[in-house]
């Protein structure tokens, strides 16, 4: 075995870490590459349980529950999950890499450039996410049983929009499924919660669709709808049901789109769209009546126009990372470790040991002395890289003997809802405009005071 790895040493056997992308309430996200024989390489995203949560049953149970749920979701608008494993007491999932941005990044750039997301693009994104939610709730598994999955955290942060016009829903970390026990507690980000969730009533697919309607409102208006200074104030706004008509903020706002949004944001679940499919169909119909151009091709064109500089920079970074790995002369292959349960999430079942997947392969990769890669990583990411040399996946039923009932969600599970723009909220003056007005007023007062003093 070669010398210990340094710098960009981070690897889970066949997966080589490249950089840290984000950190949430329960897990951290890394960009990585899947390496194999014959020069095979594929960019992936690895989601790993945070160090402070490892060994804590409540967090491990939630993580494995997410893995079980996403295993049943095979839909073009849901991020694919390829692998599940455990190393160094940390569970991890390997997911599809989408070359694009999150909905939050899209909102930020659009708000700065034009004030809001182009209507046709916003409709395309939300209609496709609605179809993903519909499949999760009304779709069936191989046994023809309804999936009954409620996401509970539909927010801009959990939408991924590809530069090619693809749209994906991700992060089922706090999702629940009909027929499966789940810890109690409010789930999701406060600004996208529903009145029934705040009141601690049962939530179903219509709650997810309400959250999606909040996103559509913020996309097309360019302001936060319910977000306030504190969670309590935010929840009060949601419960009040007061939603400013978009046309009062923008006189050119399409009437059909406004009618759709106002219905979708009803505080009464029975008055909203009842399924994701009906939501998507009504939204597309509103776009047609408003003469909006929708579809993946139009969305791709919009993304290219909005992110033309970022696209080139990100592409160059990926090419550079991949090329440096390909040039490494210290890549060796061994067969000393099993990779248990690759791609087979039956391995997380707690019901019977017979469902443990057989080893899917004995392929393990070592990449030695590739510290030179750190010169193309941002300094802020270098200290956050893990120090892992190999993947050794013990049978994933090891948790089964330690299962304890989890009655309530632990604190900090949900990601923090950071502001995506400084443009203010729909209930008041945009913060940027307000600052300008205050400054102008101050200048006026000072000017009048100076004139008065000179006249004396």
Report residue 182's pLDDT band, with 50, 70 and 90 as the boundaries. Answer: low
Q: How far apart are CA 205 and CA 212, in angstroms?
A: 11
Name the region of 454 (left: φ>0; alpha: ψ -120 to 50; beta: rest).
alpha
| CA dist 215 → 15, 16, 87, 223, 427 (Å) | 34, 34, 37, 10, 16
Model pLDDT, residue 167? 97
> Among candidates 130, 115, 102, 106, which has minimal Cα distance to 285?
130
* Per-residue model confidence (pLDDT) at position 249: 93
**In whole angstroms, how far apart are CA 364 and each of 16, 60, 368, 393?**
11, 25, 13, 12
pLDDT of residue 328: 54
Give the active site residues.
Answer: 153
**CATH (one of 3.30.460.80, 3.30.200.20, 3.40.50.720, 3.30.360.10) for 11-97+329-393:** 3.30.200.20
Cα(44)–Cα(81) distance, integer angstroms:
10
Lookup result for tokens 């899917």: 360
- Distance CA(219)–CA(426), nearest Å, equals 12
pLDDT category of residue 399 using cuts at 50, 70 and 90: very low
Ranking 41-55, 207-221, 431-445 by mean pLDDT, the lowest is 431-445
List Cβ neighbours of 399 (8 Å cut-off, separation of 6 or more). 57, 60, 61, 64, 350
Residue among 327, 333, 326, 328 at smallest CA distance from 14: 333
E runs forming strands in 38-194: 41-49, 81-87, 90-96, 100-102, 149-150, 159-162, 167-169, 176-177
Distance CA 243, CA 117 (A): 19
Mean pLDDT for the stretch of residues 51-67: 86
Asked, colleague to colleague, whether 11-97+329-393 and 100-306 share their fold, the answer is no
The enclosing H or E element of 23 equals strand 15-23
Q: What is the pLDDT of residues 297-329, one digit of tens each?
A: 999 999 999 999 899 888 888 888 777 666 554
Residue count (the chain): 456
**Interatomic CA distance for residues 365 and 430, integer angstroms:** 52
Whether the pLDDT of residue 285 is over 60: the answer is yes
Residue 5 CB-half CA count within 13 A: 25
Distance set, CA 161 to CA 53, 107, 169, 301 (Å): 30, 11, 9, 12
Please answer whether residues 100 and 162 qualify as being in contact, where contact means their C-beta atoms are separated by less than 8 angstroms: yes
Q: How far apart are CA 120 and CA 122, in angstroms?
A: 5
Q: Which residues contact 301 (CB under 8 A, 6 or more apart)?
A: 165
pLDDT > 70? residue 343: no
CATH topology of domain 100-306: Transferase(Phosphotransferase); domain 1 (1.10.510)
Whether residue 424 contacts residue 437, with contact meaning beta carbons closer than 8 Å, is answered with no
CA distance 211 to 217: 10
Largest interatomic CA distance in the chain: 96
Mean pLDDT score across all residues of the chain: 75
Q: How far is CA 8 from CA 243, 325, 370, in A?
A: 49, 10, 6
Domain range annotation of the chain: 11-97+329-393, 100-306, 429-456
Quick one: pLDDT band at residue 455, thresholds 50, 70, 90?
Answer: low
Q: What is the pLDDT of residues 118-161, one digit of tens each?
A: 999 999 999 999 999 999 999 887 778 888 999 999 999 999 99
pLDDT band at residue 332 using 50, 70 and 90 as cut-offs? very low
């Amino acid at each position: 075995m070669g010398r210990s790895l340094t710098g960009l040493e981070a690897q889970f056997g066949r997966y080589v870490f490249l950089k840290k992308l984000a950190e949430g309430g329960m897990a951290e996200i890394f960009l990585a590459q899947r390496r194999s024989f014959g020069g095979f390489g594929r960019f992936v995203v690895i989601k790993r349980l945070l160090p402070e949560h490892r060994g804590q049953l409540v967090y491990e149970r939630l993580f494995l529950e997410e893995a079980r749920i996403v295993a049943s979701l095979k839909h073009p608008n849901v991020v694919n999950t390829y692998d599940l494993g455990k190393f160094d007491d940390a569970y991890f999932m390997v997911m599809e890499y989408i070359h694009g941005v999150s909905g939050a990044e899209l909102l930020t750039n659009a708000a700065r450039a034009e004030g809001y997301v182009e209507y046709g693009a916003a409709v395309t994104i939300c209609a496709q996410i609605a179809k993903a939610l519909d499949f999760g709730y009304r779709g069936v598994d191989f046994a023809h049983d309804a999936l009954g999955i409620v996401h509970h955290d539909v927010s801009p942060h959990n939408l991924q929009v590809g530069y090619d016009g693809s749209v994906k829903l991700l992060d089922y970390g706090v999702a629940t499924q009909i027929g499966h026990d789940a810890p109690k507690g409010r789930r999701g980000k406060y600004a996208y919660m529903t009145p029934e969730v705040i009141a601690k009533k049962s939530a179903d697919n219509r709650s997810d669709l309400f959250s999606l309607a909040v996103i559509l409102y913020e996309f097309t208006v360019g302001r936060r709808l319910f977000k306030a200074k504190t969670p309590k104030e935010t929840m009060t706004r949601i419960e009040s049901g007061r939603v400013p008509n978009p046309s009062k903020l923008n006189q050119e706002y399409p009437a059909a789109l406004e009618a759709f949004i106002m219905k979708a944001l009803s505080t009464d679940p029975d008055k909203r769209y009842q399924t994701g499919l009906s939501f998507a169909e009504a939204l597309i119909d509103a776009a047609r009546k408003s003469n909006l151009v929708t579809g993946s091709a139009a969305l791709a064109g919009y993304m290219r126009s909005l992110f033309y500089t970022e696209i080139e920079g990100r592409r160059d970074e990926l090419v550079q990372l991949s090329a440096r790995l390909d040039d490494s002369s210290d890549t060796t292959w061994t067969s000393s470790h099993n990779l248990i349960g690759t791609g087979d999430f039956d391995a997380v079942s707690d019901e019977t040991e017979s469902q443990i997947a057989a080893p899917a392969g004995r392929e393990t990769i070592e990449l030695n002395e590739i510290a030179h890669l750190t010169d193309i990583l941002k300094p802020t990411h270098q200290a956050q890289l893990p120090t892992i040399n190999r993947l050794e996946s013990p049978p994933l039923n090891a948790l089964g003997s330690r299962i304890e009932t989890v009655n309530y969600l632990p604190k900090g599970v949900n990601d923090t809802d950071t502001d995506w723009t400084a443009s203010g909220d729909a209930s008041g003056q945009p913060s940027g405009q307000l600052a300008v007005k205050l400054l102008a007023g101050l200048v006026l007062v000072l000017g009048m005071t100076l004139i008065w003093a000179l006249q004396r």
